[in-house]
Every structure is written in C-alpha cells, then in structure tokens.
C-alpha cells in the first residue's frame, strides 16, 4: 500500500508568504493611486493608515489561501481527519469502529479499495479481519501454493499482541460470512504471536543513578516493543541494548537470548519475563 504520510501536500492555489502578498498588494495599490494622479509614499512607516490596512488585508489573504488549501486537502485520504475522514470513508462503505484512530481507519479504507474484487485477494480478507473488531491491530493473510486453505494470523492491540480465543472466533465468523469468502476457501485463523522470548540482561549504573533504574528496564522494553510493527519483526540484541539503556545506565549486556531471534512474516514475537542482573556502578 502507498505510505500516505510520504505524500506531498497538494496546493489548489499557490501558498505565498506574508511578505510576498504584502509586497504585491503594496505595488498594486501604488499603481492604482498613481494612475489617478495621487502621490503614494508611506515613508516606510507602519503607523500610516494605508500601511496598516495593507497589513490587515495581506494577513487576510494569507489566511484565506490556507483555508482553501486545507479544505481541498480534507477531501483527500492522506490529509482527511475526524468527521471529514468518516465522510470520505463512508463513500466506500467503510465506517469507523468504536475507538478507532484516524490512522487505522485510513488503512482499512485503502484495504477496502484494493480488495474490492470478490475473488478473495489477501487485501480483502485483511480488510474483513480488521473490520471485525477494533481489537485487531494487524493481520497477515497468505496461502500456500495451490492450496485453498487461507491462513490468517491476527495480532491483538491488547497486551503483548497475543490474540485471545474469543477474538479469533470473531475474526473467523467475519471471514466465514457467505457474502465474504470464496466458495472453496477454508480459513486457518491463528494468533500472530507464536513465540515468547524471555530476556536476561546485565546492567551497570552510573555513580549517581538511582537503584530503581534496574527495575525500570523491563517495563520500558516491553512498552517500547509493543509500539513496533511486530509482524515479521526480528528481535535484535542491538535494539534491546539501545532501547534498554535508559539515562543513568552506563552499560547493558544481553545474556539471553543469544543472537538474533528471527520472525517469519506471519509471526510476532512477544517479550516474556525480563531479568536484569545488577553488576555495580561505573563511569
């Protein structure tokens, strides 16, 4: 899918800065007055009435140009938000779920557009799974070659990403609707979190760092990990060290796991127990 955040802002009318607008208005007024036999010279004084009026009209034009462009952009998916986004999505029959963010709604709109074919493309099934519940954070859909079995890995927005049995049942029911699936398709709905990795770390503190930092490393790593795009994301020791080295921690060593933990495209790795061994203080 196209990354909407990388699209440039379109301009319906040219956006000028204040100084440019003011200079053009000043030249226009001067030409009009002199054409009628009036002298024109504010002497560069901002206190002159005509200078004050031109400043006001220049600001007004700047604001109008900005409003016109913003209004036009709100009709484009990349720049629509809140109620305007809902109106745009409704045209394709996509409605916001309770508590759904603008970013997630935009993503479902894109999937609904790509997957409008009734032939059961992955994007269509992914759209159906995301629409089934706002608890579905992400979905991976794939099939083995020449197999009617459609695999659907569900990543939950709750906790470490493990999908509960009730969530998997909701997604399966949505996919099994007669209006959704192709006749010979069969679904294998599973949790995307297929493995949980425990961490064993060794940390050294700065001389003036509070001892409580040791206990903060684990929760911090978990909270930062679940913010990632977890499907297919490898767990790298370098990420653990870079993320876990809070201010006041002079060194952090990964004792386990050993080396890179790879995830397949349909897998998400969850962080389990995180043990941090304190080895003293140093510079």
Tell me the average pLDDT of the chain.
85
User: Of 201, 196, 273, nearest to 235 (Cα)?
Assistant: 196
Q: What's the rounded mean pLDDT across residues 112-139? A: 82
More confident residue, 119 or 135: 135
Assess whether pLDDT exceeds 70 at residue 69.
yes
pLDDT in tens, 82-104: 888 888 887 777 889 888 898 88
Q: Is 75 exposed, middle or buried (0-12, 13-18, 19+ CB in 10 A)?
A: exposed
Does 1 have pLDDT greater than 60?
no
Per-residue pLDDT at 47 = 57
Please, which residues have CB within 8 angstroms of residue 99's CB and are 6 or more apart in sequence?
134
- CA dist., res. 220 & res. 131, Å (int): 31
pLDDT at residue 43 tops 80: no
Band (26; pLDDT cuts 50, 70, 90): confident
What CATH class has 82-191? Answer: alpha beta
Two structure tokens written together for 50: 């005509």
**Of 85, 111, 112, whose CA–CA distance to 100 is shortest?**
85
What are the E-state strand segments in 33-176?
A: 136-143, 149-156
Domain boundaries, the chain: 4-73, 82-191, 196-277
pLDDT of residue 5: 62
Average pLDDT over residues 260-283: 92
pLDDT of residue 185: 79
Mean pLDDT of 244-256: 95
pTM of the model: 0.66
Per the listing, tokens 């794939």 go with 142
> In terms of Cα–Cα distance, which of 279, 161, 274, 261 is closest to 219?
274
Angle of helix 165-175 versus helix 122-132 axis, rounded to 10: 130
Residue range 130-146: mean pLDDT, rounded? 90
Whether the CA torsion 237, 239, 242, 246 is positive or negative: it is negative
């Amino acid at each position: 899918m196209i990354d909407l955040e990388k699209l440039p802002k379109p301009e319906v009318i040219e956006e000028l800065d204040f100084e440019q607008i003011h200079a053009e208005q000043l030249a226009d007024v001067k030409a009009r007055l002199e054409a009628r036999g009036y002298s024109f010279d504010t002497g560069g004084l901002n206190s002159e009435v005509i200078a004050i009026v031109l400043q006001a009209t220049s600001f007004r034009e700047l604001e109008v140009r900005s409003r016109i462009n913003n209004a036009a952009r709100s009709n484009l998916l990349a720049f629509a938000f809140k109620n305007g986004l809902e109106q745009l999505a409704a045209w394709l029959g996509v409605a916001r779920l309770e508590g759904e963010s603008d970013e997630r709604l935009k993503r479902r709109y894109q999937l609904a557009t790509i997957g409008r074919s009734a032939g059961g493309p992955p994007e269509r099934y992914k759209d159906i799974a995301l629409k089934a519940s706002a608890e579905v954070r992400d979905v991976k859909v794939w099939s083995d070659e020449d197999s009617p079995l459609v695999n659907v890995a569900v990543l939950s927005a709750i906790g470490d990403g493990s999908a509960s049995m009730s969530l998997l049942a909701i997604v399966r029911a949505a996919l099994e609707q007669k209006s959704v699936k192709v006749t010979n398709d069969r679904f294998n709905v599973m949790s995307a979190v297929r493995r949980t990795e425990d961490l064993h770390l060794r940390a050294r503190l700065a001389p003036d760092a509070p001892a409580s930092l040791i206990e903060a490393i684990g929760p911090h790593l978990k909270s930062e990990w679940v913010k990632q795009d977890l499907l297919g994301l490898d767990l790298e020791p370098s990420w653990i060290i870079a993320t876990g080295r809070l201010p006041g921690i002079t060194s952090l060593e990964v004792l386990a796991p050993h080396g890179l933990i790879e995830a397949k495209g349909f897998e998400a790795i969850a962080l389990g127990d995180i043990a941090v061994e304190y080895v003293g203080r140093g510079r």
